[in-house]
Copies of this chain bind each other. A is one copy, B any other.
Amino acid sequence: MAVNTREQFLDAAETLFAERGFYGVSIAAIGTELGLTKQALLHHFGSKEKLYGEVLGRISDRFDAITTQTSAASDPTEAFVAYFIELYGASLEEPHQTRLLMRELLDNRRRADTAGTWYLKPFLEHLIRLLQAIPSWRTASEMEALAMIYQFLGALNYYAISAPTLTGIFGDDAYAELDQAFPSQLDQLMRSALSARG
């Protein structure tokens, strides 16, 4: 029960922070989610900030796992696209994760001095290297590459957080159709944009 409780707290916290934001969730609310009091939470994590930090750390680890595991691919274009497919899969498997990272992106001015850039920097640098491995992009500067990467990243992440809104607007059936059309169109978007340079 011991280690398990900690993990359960992290799961509950990740979900709630993703849905309501850091200030929108009280530690008491996270506690009652497991049928416990907020002091049980404080016993394990010390403070709300530390809990939040551990939630972010766990997500960071997941990204590292994706980066190290998706390295194998012969063609550089395929390797690049494969990485984004992996990211897309991760956003489906861990739907709260993308929302929480988006919030972090919005709030980062608050913690710009402290944790700063944490997970994002090595992640973006890896993507830049993947893109520059493609022959027609070898002459691109780091920032030119990043500008293109950011378009794909934006397309993917923005969509990932919009599901409830889009179902609200268009209904479940229409959203299912949209959800089916999205990944192939993202694939098409990436390939056409990547090959447009040359």
Instruction: Describe A's contact surface by its main secondary structure.
Output: helix
Chain B residues with Cβ below 8 Å from A116 are 168
> A121 touches which one: B105, B162, B169, B195 (CB < 8 A)?
B169
A192 on interface, CB distance cutoff 8 Å = yes
Contact A157 B154 (CB under 8 A): yes
Near B by CB (< 8 A), chain A positions 84-124 give 99, 102-103, 105-110, 112, 116-117, 120-121, 124
Give the oligomeric copy count.
2
User: Which of A4-12, A36-44, A55-63, A182-190 interfaces with chain B?
Assistant: A182-190
A177 on interface, CB distance cutoff 8 Å = yes
A143 on interface, CB distance cutoff 8 Å = yes
